[in-house]
Copies of this chain bind each other. A is one copy, B any other.
């Protein structure tokens, strides 16, 4: 996340990590649907690798909560229940609130500037109507919030939560109302941080997150996509 961007560097990650990236992206993007079984032999053949690194990647994914491994039974993409989503967003709210409080405590104008710049980009994208870009920047915004908190363990925890949030957002049928409104919603939070008004910032971020979380959870069909067999 804080790559020094040293130019001239070829990727030589172990196979398991590249496999991990591919599978994670497939799940988080919704390409692999919740409940879908992941048969090791098939995937290994499909990727043209052996099962060893694949298995290690699957272990990783199970720790990230994206898949469920049942010994001797197999691996499936973890089903997403409504309760899961509620838990996801409630914990997310807690983590972001914590990050926000730390940022305010640091009281560094540079931080606010970064957040504000992120906001500007989001607004610009919204005004052009680029929904996908808005969502990406929105994600960047919240990642940045965590990153600025300077808390490694929080960041690590956030990363696993964030993945599943992405998955949820990829799977729901986007009820995207006013796109620019999405961007506008972030401004008060930034301002509250800038004024070091912790109670206000806390209230705003919690409303911001839980409102979107509730919206998604309410509309969630449990067990929505019976996989294409039946």
Give A contacts to B, CB under 8 Å: 13-14, 17, 52, 55-56, 59-60, 63-65, 71-72, 83-84, 87-88, 90-91, 94-95, 98, 151-154, 156-157, 161
The answer on a CB contact under 8 Å between A87 and B151 is yes
CA distance A72 to B12 in the complex (A): 11
The answer on a CB contact under 8 Å between A153 and B91 is yes
Q: Contacts A13-B71, A94-B98, A98-B94 hold; do A153 and B84 have CB atoms under 8 A apart?
A: yes
List residues of chain B with CB within 8 A of the CB of A87: 151-154
List residues of chain B with CB within 8 A of the CB of A161: 153
CB-nearest residue of chain B to A87: B153
List residues of chain B with CB within 8 A of the CB of A13: 71
CA distance A83 to B150 in the complex (A): 11
9 closest Cβ pairs, A-B complex? A63-B63, A87-B153, A94-B98, A59-B59, A14-B71, A91-B153, A56-B59, A87-B151, A91-B154
List residues of chain B with CB within 8 A of the CB of A14: 71-72
CB distance from A69 to the nearest CB of B (A): 10
* Cross-chain pairs A/B with CB under 8 angstroms, 17 sampled: A14-B71, A14-B72, A17-B71, A55-B56, A56-B56, A56-B59, A59-B60, A59-B63, A63-B64, A65-B153, A87-B151, A87-B152, A88-B153, A90-B151, A91-B151, A91-B154, A157-B157
CB-nearest residue of chain B to A13: B71
CA distance A79 to B157 in the complex (A): 18
List residues of chain B with CB within 8 A of the CB of A55: 56
List residues of chain B with CB within 8 A of the CB of A98: 90-91, 94
The answer on a CB contact under 8 Å between B91 and A157 is yes
List residues of chain B with CB within 8 A of the CB of A64: 63
CA distance A17 to B64 in the complex (A): 17
